[in-house]
Amino acid sequence: MSDVQTSPLDSLMADQEPVVNDFQIMIATVNGSGSQTANSTLLRAIFRMGVPVSGKNIFPSNIQGLPTWFTIRLSKDGYIARREDYHILVAMNLQTVEEDITNLAVGGIVLYPEEWKIKHKRDDVVYYPVPVKALVDESGTPSSFVSYVSNMVYVGVLATLLNIELEQIEYALNFHFSNKPKPVNMNMALVRLSYDWAQDNLPKNDPFTVERMEGKTDGMLLLDGNSAGALGTAFGGVQVVAWYPITPSTSMIDALRTYLSDMRTNPDTGEASYAIIQAEDEIGAIGMLVGAGWAGARAMTATSGPGMSLMTEFAGLAYYAEVPIVIWNVQRVGPSTGLPTRSSQGDVLAAYFLGHGDTKHVVLLPSSLEDAFEFGWKSFDLAERLQTPVFVLSDLDLGMNLWMGKLFEYPDQPMDRGKVMTAEDIQRAGEFARYKDVDGDGIPYRTLPGTDHPDAAYFARGTGHDEKAIYSERPDDWVANIERMNRKFDTARALVPPPVVDEVAGTEIGLIAYGTTDACIVESRDLLREQGIETSYLRLRALPLSDATRDFIRRCDRVYVVENNTDGQMAKIIYMEYPDLAPKVKSIAYLDGMPLAPRWLTRAVQEREQER
């Protein structure tokens, strides 16, 4: 087979200290070529060796043919944010190979099919040509399966180069194929063949290696955020799901269907204690939720920006008629169709104020698998307690990428079904008025359709109404009702998940962030500390804001609000809510489709500090 080509830096590299469990692999492929199996197999195998990993799939809005990149970051220190540089390039896309090589870190390595002629070779990286076609031919893979398994060649070669345990690769394949022997064996045969070829033919000429670690990933799982949110939703006792397919939220409903079919279907009769309806559009989807929520069911949907835009009118109705529903928005990049397969935190303002008139919503902000699971069930408790829509703003990065997370904890409180009056309750109270503030917290009592009492019924509506839900255009009725709803919104401040605060004594600088930027902040704070800049950190978990956030800002001299959008949307909400504190609050906001990277953020904070 082929000769290994070498570069002038080879001798230098050979003398280098080994780079162990602290580098990034970039796999460049063509969309639709089945690389997901190979990539998640590598990721899981390395995770199984106890090494902290994170994977990001950078894919096109396309079914077949456009370029796709997958990064696997190994971090012995446990960092899981996006890393901008990469050290190992698996170049399997001729379209992008030149650019992919250009961006490779100095001293990095390139695996590529040996038949490719690479025009502009760099002399500061190592090239490993691989006889992909010959290995596939030799494996005897039936022709109809070749395109599915070819990517196993780079899995096998990397296993040799980096010392990834073959047992873990086999384990990961079994996981991927649910222990079906035929696909596992077919893939594994090519992995072994490629592994052996590399052992015999590929003298290692680079410092990168994977070593088994202890204690870093114990008791952790590897999952995508959409599945975590779906599992939480299942443990929230969801009853009605209505949805319309849209990237990147679709896999959340897919996962939910799997979990519910497993846990909430009678195995003898096949009857389901839930309904999942694929609606004709997002308007239909949220309309079904409003009907179901009004009737007393726990109802949820998952969507993304364009879908949430379509849901606007119903969101306003649910807010004003006070109907509990849960809407997951797995954010992608807007405006408009934007970048459908890229991540952002661009829908914060849109979700918070979705609807015309004086509308505002409760918004949950998950930043991890654990949050996604917890908010999956807790969103229903909040929606029913507050009788209002609850938005969960996840994003593509959390939803569709594989993350490490702690094992989920079973809900620590029973389901909170909120203030619902039965026929007996009405009898005892002697009165039912749908929109009356009986308890002073702004949250009224409701009855459910089907309640057998002459006074139980009311006519829910989006039009102006009095305490008894009767149509009213009277100014005093309108004002009293809106003031009560605002009281309710203030009640929500104390009920939503409080922020997580890590306050460092003696520092003047505070960081505020939310959602998936958390991973970036965690690493960036360490990098800033190395530069002598200590920071306190408040991670928001929900809107509306609570006193804890206001007090944090007060205690800091200056606060940077970090977010993955262009307009600094959360910073704007803070300016609105706490105008007196606004001079202290600075926005660091950036969006180009990629999750924020710690080195970028570190530089951004340093620059801001120098400008002072």
Partner 1 sequence: MGTRVNQIGLQRNDYKGRPSTLCQGCGHNSISNQIIAVCYELSIEPHRIIKLSGIGCSSKSPAYFLGRSHGFNALHGRMPALATGAIMANRDLTGIGVSGDGDTGSIGLGQFKHMVRRNVPMIYIVENNGVYGLTKGQFSATADIGQELKYAGLNELPPIDICLEALAADVSFVARSFAGDAKQVRELLKAALSHKGTAVLDIISPCVTFNNHETSTKSYPYGKLHEEALQDITFIPEYDPIIVDVHEPGQVQAVRMHDGSHLVLRKLDPVKHDPTDKLAAFRLIEEARIENQFITGLIYVDEHRPNLHETTHLIQAPLVHLTEADLRPSAEALDRVLGEICCQ
Interactions with partner 1, residue window 242-301 (CB under 8 A): 242, 259, 262-264, 266, 269-277, 279-281, 283-299
Q: Which of residues 188-227 bind partner 1 (CB under 8 A)?
A: 221-223
- In whole angstroms, give the CA distance from residue 374 to residue 398: 14
Contacting range for partner 1; rule: CB under 8 A; set: 21-29, 228-236, 512-520, 546-554: 228-236
**Strand boundaries in 3-50, DSSP class E:** 19-20, 22-30
Q: Give the Cα separation of 607 and 257 in Å (integer).
A: 48
**At its nearest, how many Å lie between partner 1 and the CB of residue 313?**
6
Site for partner 1 in 507-566 (CB under 8 A): none
Q: How far is the CB of 542 from partner 1 (least distance, A)?
A: 22
Nearer to partner 1, 314 or 445 (CB): 314
The owner of tokens 């961006």 is 103
Q: If DSSP codes are grouped into helix, strand and coil, which group holds residue 58?
A: strand
Q: Using an 8 Å Cβ cutoff, are 383 and 325 in contact?
A: yes
Residue 173: CB minimum distance to partner 1, A: 13
Restricting to residues 395-414, which ones interact with partner 1 according to CB under 8 A?
407-408, 410-411, 414
For partner 1, the binding residues in 16-55 under the rule CB under 8 A are 48
Nearer to partner 1, 134 or 277 (CB): 277
Query: Which residue, 200 or 271, is less far from partner 1 as judged by CB?
Result: 271
Question: What residues from 296 to 325 belong to the interface with partner 1 (CB under 8 A)?
Answer: 296-299, 313-314, 317, 321
The residue (of 239 and 549) whose beta carbon lies closer to partner 1 is 239
Q: How far is the CB of 172 from partner 1 (least distance, A)?
A: 10
Supply the minimum distance, in Å, between the C-beta of residue 286 and partner 1.
8
Please identify which residue in 74, 104, 231, 562 interacts with partner 1, judged by CB under 8 A. 231
Q: Which positions from 376 to 395 touch partner 1 by CB under 8 A, shown as an x/- string? A: -x------------------
Residues in the chain, how many? 612
Residues 443-482 that bind partner 1 (CB under 8 A): 447-454, 456-463, 470-471
Site for partner 1 in 123-182 (CB under 8 A): 171, 175
Nearest Cα to Cα of residue 538 among 519, 513, 509, 565: 513
Give the whole-angstrom CA distance, residue 374 versus residue 409.
8
Question: What phi and psi values does residue 461 have, to the nearest 5 degrees?
Answer: -160, 160
Omega of the bond leading into 497 within 30 degrees of 0 (cis) = no
CA nearest to 277, candidates 292, 264, 262 = 292
Helix (H, G, I), strand (E, B) or coil at 553: helix
Alpha carbon 105 to its chain centroid, in Å, reads 28
Nearest to 455 by CA among 474, 468, 440: 468
Nearer to partner 1, 147 or 273 (CB): 273
Please say whether the beta carbons of 118 and 112 come within 8 A.
yes
User: Near partner 1 by CB under 8 A, which window of 62-70, 239-247, 474-482, 500-508?
Assistant: 239-247
| Owner of token pair 């975590």 | 228
- Minimum Å distance from CB 181 to partner 1? 17
Contact at 8 Å (CB) between 501 and 537?
Answer: yes
Straight-line distance from the first to the last Cα atom of the chain, in angstroms, rounded to the nearest whole number: 61
DSSP 210-256: ----SSSSTTEEEEEHHHHHHHHHHHTT--EEEE---TTTHHHHHHH
3-state secondary structure of 266: coil
Question: Residue 69 or 373: which CB sits closer to partner 1?
Answer: 373
**Residues 328-367 vs partner 1: string with x where CB under 8 A?**
----------------------------------------
Please identify, using beta-carbon distances, which residue of 107 and 284 lies nearer to partner 1: 284
Q: Which residue reads 């505070």 in tokens?
A: 510
52-111 residues near partner 1, rule: CB under 8 A? none
When asked if residue 116 is in the footprint of partner 1 (CB under 8 A), the reply is no
Could you tell me the smallest distance in angstroms from the CB atom of residue 206 to partner 1? 30
Q: How far is the CB of 528 from partner 1 (least distance, A)?
A: 34
Would strands 53-58 and 67-75 be described as parallel, antiparallel, or unpaired? antiparallel
Is the CB of 221 or the CB of 548 nearer to partner 1?
221
Half-sphere exposure of 131 (CA within 13 A, CB side): 17
Q: Closest distance between partner 1 and the C-beta of residue 237, in Å?
A: 3
Nearest distance, CB of residue 227 and partner 1, angstroms:
8
